[in-house]
A and B are shown apart, each in its own frame.
Chain A
Amino acid sequence: MADKVLMKGNEALAEAAIKAGCRHYFGYPITPQTEVAAYMAKRMPKIGGTFLQAESEIAAINMVYGVAAAGKRVMTSSSSPGISLKGEGISYLAGSDLPALIVNVQRGGPGLGGIQPSQSDYFQATRGGGHGDYHMIVLAPASVQEMAELTVLGFELADTYRMPAMVLADGTMGQMMEPVSLDFAVSPAPEKPWATTGTKMAREHNIVNSLFLTPEELEQLNFTRYERYQTIEANETRYEEYMTEDADIILAAFGIAARVSRTAVNEARKQGIKVGLIRPITLWPFPYAPFAKAAEHAKAFISVELNMGQMIEDVRLAISCKAPVTLCNRAGGMIPSPGQVLEAIQKADGGVSK
């Protein structure tokens, strides 16, 4: 196909951000996301954008805050330990209702951990990470094409709902190359009448702030924000189902784990085991509905994750514990093989047939 090129996930993500109109990028190098920063360093000066390697992750996220307040599409990227450092700034973005895109190409943890792929920041991404009551929209790509497309979607949703969005990838998604088409539509950023762009003595001051010392006012802001979150839960939940219709066993997996799981589903189907896969694309909002629906016929669920079992809690919540949910996992930078997932399926099938 003429319009497809081979690109690393990190590079496709960076180019997609530029296509989405992002002209301001602030980052700090850390494996396995450094190609994002390197790509931005190469491209931004050529298109009149800003690439700035900050002195730290904390500095970078606060630069993001500044550009977001000025109403421009802005991005930062890092990997797990760096995202922890950005946690405070992300909370401030959420508390100030500012749109921005944060990319986490996860590596094994906790602490400095390792540099190999991981999904162990699921809790951090979906439950906060920073302090206070807030959510980010969390998008989980499972291909290089999605690294690009979900980046664009992240900018769009962040703008629509005035909140930070995160692309939660992992080392594999960042490092692998696949054919990718960057020929897709992008909605331009909407008007942002709230942005601090200078009054030109013609309007009231716009103030961007997350400090509210009157508890009644702060409570009301939290209430209003959570009403917005409900709208997002209703309208923006995304997922993919694979062979779930007649499935006795349902796998839950996102990102690279979903790729491995899909291979395992194909193998298990060859053995006559009725197994399917639900792949959340938005981790927040989590796709509770398809899991609840599947629980009407499925007898067992398996959560396949590159961590010690984090998304499994959402799977259990989604199906109201109607069926057993087991964990098939590796951690610390290791990745489950299709064979390991197949074994978990066979084990669950043994339980189902009994």
Chain B
Amino acid sequence: MSMKRFLFSGFGGQGILFAGKLLAYKGLMEDKQVSWLPSYGPEMRGGTASCSVIISDEPVGSPIVAEPDILVAMNLPSLDRYESAVQPGGMIFVDSSLVERKVQRDDVQVYYVPATKLAGDNGMPTLANIILMGKILKVLDEYEESSIGAALQKVISARHADMLDTNRKALEIGANA
């Protein structure tokens, strides 16, 4: 059976929960079992935010991801806090425009993406999360599948439909980063 446990973590306002939701919807589109669990608390923009996403062929047991297969760290506190929790052989995706240090571990695959810088350079300053997602999907060899487009349509509300193309472009930038 195949199961991937993701942990997305960063500042509130970076779209951590949104990125996780996009991934969960992609799983749903592919008839996978999925769960999405946010950290919740007295949190605010600029505070910490994280969410657990599990994509599996089997029913998801515990929805809590304490030891992720894949960690997405969008700020330094997130990397500091969760680096040691990643499963050996797992992956860490780092927004290298905001996290200056390197990953210390040598038993995981690490991908540095200057997502926030790329987002700014391309006139989409709020889409660093989606740029990272493009990279993740590319690395996992799941980028080409059409379900990500359908998932985007699900998570982007009708009110923001004009953002669809920009999000697609962000995915592409990430995939090629």
Interface residues of A (CB under 8 A from B): 1, 4-6, 31-32, 115-116, 171-172, 175-179, 256, 259-260, 262-264, 266, 335, 337-338
A172/B61 in contact, CB under 8 A: no
Q: Which 7 pairs, one residue from A and one from B, show the smallest C-beta to C-beta distance?
A: A263-B61, A177-B36, A260-B62, A176-B37, A262-B61, A263-B62, A179-B28
Residues of B within 8 A of A335 (CB): 62, 64
Q: Give the complex CA separation of A256 and B52 in angstroms.
A: 15
Given the complex of chains A and B, what is the CA–CA distance between A260 and B40 in angstroms? 19
Query: With A and B bound together, what is the CA distance between A338 and B21 in angstroms?
Result: 24
Do B42 and A115 have beta carbons less than 8 Å apart?
Answer: yes
Interface centre among B33, B34, B154 (most CB of A within 10 A): B34
Give A261 Cβ to nearest chain B Cβ, in Å. 8
Those of B21-49 within 8 Å (CB) of chain A: 21, 24-25, 28, 31, 33-38, 40-42
Instruction: Verify B34–A179 contact, CB threshold 8 A.
Output: yes
Contact B41 A115 (CB under 8 A): yes
Q: 17 new A-B pairs (CB below 8 Å) besides A256-B63, A259-B62?
A: A6-B36, A6-B154, A115-B42, A175-B37, A175-B40, A176-B63, A177-B21, A177-B36, A178-B36, A179-B34, A259-B63, A262-B62, A263-B61, A266-B61, A335-B62, A335-B64, A338-B61
Flag whether B66 is at the interface (Cβ < 8 A).
yes
The closest CB in chain B to the CB of A337 belongs to: B66
With A1-B31, A6-B21 already in contact, the answer to whether A175 and B38 are too (CB < 8 A) is: yes
On chain B, the residues within 8 Å of A260 by CB distance are: 61-62, 64
A178 and B61 within 8 A (CB): no
24 A-B contacts (beta carbon < 8 Å): A6-B21, A6-B34, A6-B36, A6-B154, A31-B40, A115-B41, A171-B40, A172-B37, A175-B40, A176-B35, A176-B63, A177-B35, A178-B36, A179-B34, A256-B62, A256-B63, A259-B60, A259-B63, A260-B61, A263-B61, A264-B61, A335-B64, A337-B64, A337-B66
Specify the chain B residue showing the minimal Cβ separation from A116. B41
* Nearest-Cβ distance from residue A332 to partner chain B, whole angstroms: 14
In the bound complex, do residue A32 and residue B40 qualify as a contact, i.e. CB atoms below 8 Å apart? yes
CB-CB under 8 A from B31, the residues of chain A are: 1
Cα-based distance from A323 to B34 in the complex (angstroms): 37
Interchain CA distance A269-B40 in the complex, whole Å:
33
Contacts of A176 in B (CB 8 A): 35-38, 63
B40 touching A178 by the CB < 8 A rule? no
Q: Which B146-177 residues have a C-beta within 8 angstroms of A?
A: 154
Query: With a CB–CB cut-off of 8 A, which chain A residues contact B24?
Result: 6, 177
Q: How many Å lie between the Cα of A171 and that of B63 in the bound state?
A: 12
Q: How far is B40's CA from A263's CA once the two chains are assembled, in angstroms? A: 23
